[in-house]
Chain A
């Protein structure tokens, strides 16, 4: 399955959710999973280790503890420094990664060098990519607008990969000559 939230900063996401008001760690996990965790819900361990880091850096503060013990009794609130941090995060563009298909490229070259079929490698990958795209397309049909947008994000990226696969397949003979030179 593809990773739908691409390595998002969990700290910033939790801070952003806390801007709506103080919450328990448990609430935060639920809110995160509901909005961003379709494919990979957070572990409690991740939530509490992230919160303790945010606490140490002064980005959140404890806002009351209910009777009983255990970390799930604590409520957390965002601080002014935390709000500033969220603002900075939102206004800083993500690095446009020229996502190089390193592994695939290496497979193609090695197939060519060893006299195996590079087109086979590319076709196998195409099939796997399309399989995932079908699953996302089905999910989109059943989902609400949020699901659709998240699935479309993944679909457009997978489509870009597929275009590269197609282009590479069309140039494989040319590449074979070059790698063997």
Chain B
């Protein structure tokens, strides 16, 4: 089942044409690697897909809803309930403990503190970082911090996880562990993953790849 579909995305920053007619299709539960050279438009594509960045033209459909024509409130509601995000770094709130960070998205949706923290604890354990629950992000290693971030992305039961170079700051052993835990958890919960990476060994955790070059994407499976 098609979950997310972008068509004809165009996005410019001043004179830079970051996206020049890019498209992509994501089906429920699949892990898709978005690859391509630096500056080719991978992150811009991901931001447009996730409704973070409005494209200059083109459409993004999540199920039967069109993201670019939604109002801001509805769009952020959709992001909060249906999507999860993992970035290279800087996504955890430094003042909160790791447990509070993972519980945060649930608290924002109105869940009681006790229930939110119980769910957060379960996810920390699943990502094998329950040991750092009471530490602040600054007191964890890079690999632990990324696993906490993955736990936070998954705790709300999203349908799509957007991950932009989630292992970019990790060594290969830690990077692979994070990828293994992320893709295993996503497969178990049926979440799709859009994984931006330039590392082939990271992309090898995907089901298929889409290559972006010069702002245009080449979807091997959905080639036009």
Contacts and interface: CB of A to CB of B under 8 A. Distances in A.
A134 B200 contact: no
A136 B204 contact: yes
B17 interface: no
Contacts of B37: 166, 169-170
B218 A123 contact: yes
Nearest to B38: A170
A133 B218 contact: no
Main secondary structure of the interface of A (DSSP, over half): helix
Contact of A130 (B180, B198, B200, B218): B200
A130 B203 contact: yes
A155 B204 contact: yes
Interface in B169-224: 180, 198-201, 203-207, 209, 211, 213, 218, 220
A159 interface: yes
Contacts of B198: 166
Given A123-B218, A166-B37, A170-B37, A159 B209 contact: no
A129 B207 CA distance: 13
A134 B211 contact: no
Interface residues of B, number: 16
A155 B204 CA distance: 9
A141 interface: yes
Residue with the highest number of chain A CB atoms closer than 10 Å, among B199, B201, B209, B218: B201
A170 B37 CA distance: 8
A147 to B, nearest CB: 14
B200 A137 contact: no
Given A133-B200, A137-B201, A170-B37, 8 more contacts: A123-B211, A126-B211, A127-B220, A134-B204, A134-B206, A155-B204, A159-B199, A159-B200
16 contacts: A123-B220, A127-B220, A129-B200, A130-B209, A133-B200, A133-B201, A133-B204, A134-B205, A134-B207, A136-B204, A137-B204, A141-B180, A163-B200, A166-B37, A166-B198, A170-B37
Interface of A: 119, 123, 126-127, 129-130, 133-134, 136-137, 141, 155-156, 158-159, 162-163, 166, 169-170
